[in-house]
Amino acid sequence: MKTVIFTDKAPKAIGPYSQAIEINGMLFISGQIPIDPATSKLIEGGIKEQTEQVMKNIAAILAEAGYTFADVVKSTCLLSDMDNFAAMNEIYGKYYSENSPARAAYAVVKLPLGALVEIETIAGR
C-alpha cells in the first residue's frame, strides 16, 4: 500500500508531488532543496549552508516516516556547479559516517529557485 508522507518540519512541495512516498518498506524522498520550512524561502549562504539545510529537511522527512539516515540506501545529489562537490561532500559525509549509501552526483544547468544543491533520497527497511 502506498502512503504519502508529509511533515511541516520540511518544506511543502512546490509542485504536484509529495515530500515522500512509502511503499513495501521503501521510502522515496523527493529532491530536497535548501528551503527553510519556517519561512518557505531559500536559505542564505553558500554550498555548505545550503547542503546542511537540505540534510535537515531530509532528516525531518525520514523521522516523520520512522526512518533514520542509517536506513538510507541511495542518494542522488544535483549540483549547480561541480566546483561545489568537495564542500557539499564534507557536509553530506557528516550524516553518513559509516555504511554510506550508494550515490550519484551530477552537475545540472539550473536548480529550482536558484538553489546550489538538491538531494533526493531512498531509504529501506
Query: Tens digit of pLDDT for each residue in 3-36?
Result: 999 999 999 988 899 999 999 999 999 999 999 9
pTM above 0.85, yes or no: yes
The CATH number fitting domain 3-124, selected from 3.30.1330.40, 1.10.10.10, 3.10.129.10, 3.40.1260.10: 3.30.1330.40
Specify burial of residue 56 (Cβ count, 10 A radius: 0-12, 13-18, 19+): middle
Q: Interhelix angle for 85-94 vs 47-64, to 10°?
A: 40
Per-residue pLDDT at 14: 82
Q: Give residue-wise pLDDT tens across range 41-99.
A: 999 999 999 999 999 999 999 999 999 999 999 999 999 999 999 999 999 999 998 89
Going 74 to 89 to 34 to 117, the CA torsion angle's sign is negative
- The alpha carbon of residue 86 and the mean position of all alpha carbons in its chain are separated, in whole angstroms, by 17
Q: Where are the domains of the chain?
A: 3-124
The whole-number average pLDDT for the span 117-125 is: 97
